[in-house]
Amino acid sequence: MGMAAADLQFHVLAVDDSLIDRKLIERLFRISSCQVTTVDSGSKALEFLGLQEHDQNQPCVSPSNQQEVEVNLIITDYCMPGMTGYDLLKKIKESSSLRNIPVVIMSSENVPSRISRCLEEGAEEFFLKPVRLSDVNKLRPHMMKTKCKSLPQQEAEKMVTKPKQESIEIANVQSQAQEPAEPQTESETVQQQQKSQANNNNNKRKAMEENLSPDRTRPRYSSGLTAV
């Protein structure tokens, strides 16, 4: 049971040179039942991901030992000494083994050109600090994509198709409720006409009996007068 729960848990790599911001991010994701690994620089993030820089003058990176723990999301600060969040984003998207990991950039500065550049480079979201729990909840669909790819095919199909199956069942119930009644057969139509005719005859018979009733022929009396 513990293994199954671990397989279904999302793993987030948080990158920020600020200890306070790292603690905040870690707390928010743990509230959302995520496993969190925190590092204080872009170079340590690459090391954790299994990427190693050749040289400071060469921006390319090469795969080293691949990380043992799967990462479903990377959230990084933009302004960091040495390697910025934008630089880290570019290196991740240049890696054939890591480019599918969703990357989210966060910053305390609202600079439109910076935001546009990160989104164009492949960032899923750009959050302004302080990051809130509502922001973290928006990231679950992005993490789900990587989790579905890593799970066995049957488990992934269950996670993806279950909501679709429920909606299909609801649609079927609604369509059945809206479907017109099936046309009656000839015999059913004849029986229904016979019942209708019988009811009409009974109604006529009752009307005739009421007209011939003694109560109808009995003289009426009013106060102080005697009927002749």
| Domains recognised in the chain with CATH numbers | 11-53+68-147 (3.40.50.2300)
User: For the segment 154-172, what is each residue's pLDDT rounded down to a tens digit?
Assistant: 454 444 444 444 444 444 5
Beta-carbon count within 10 A of 17 CB: 15
Instruction: Identify the band that residue 177 occupies on the pLDDT scale cut at 50, 70 and 90.
Output: very low
Burial class (CB in 10 A: 0-12, 13-18, 19+), 67: middle
Q: What is the pLDDT of residue 51?
A: 84
Is the predicted pLDDT of residue 224 greater than 70, yes or no? no
- Packing angle, helices 42-49 and 85-94, rounded to 10: 20
Q: What is the pLDDT of residue 190?
A: 67
Q: What is the pLDDT of residue 112?
A: 97
Q: What is the pLDDT of residue 174?
A: 47
Q: What is the pLDDT of residue 64?
A: 45
Average pLDDT along the chain: 76
Is the predicted pLDDT of residue 66 greater than 90, yes or no? no
Q: What is the pLDDT of residue 151?
A: 53
> What six digits make up the tokens of 134?
């509502």
Is the predicted pLDDT of residue 44 greater than 90, yes or no? yes
Q: What is the pLDDT of residue 59?
A: 44
The more confidently predicted of residues 149 and 146 is: 146
Q: Nearest 5°: CA angle at 113, between 134 and 105? A: 35
Q: What is the pLDDT of residue 146?
A: 81
Is the predicted pLDDT of residue 192 greater than 60, yes or no? yes
Is the predicted pLDDT of residue 80 greater than 80, yes or no? yes
Burial class (CB in 10 A: 0-12, 13-18, 19+), 71: buried
Q: What type of residue sits at position 129?
A: K
Mean pLDDT in residue range 29-37: 95
Is the predicted pLDDT of residue 103 greater than 90, yes or no? yes
Instruction: Identify the band that residue 74 occupies on the pLDDT scale cut at 50, 70 and 90.
Output: very high
Is the predicted pLDDT of residue 228 greater than 50, yes or no? no
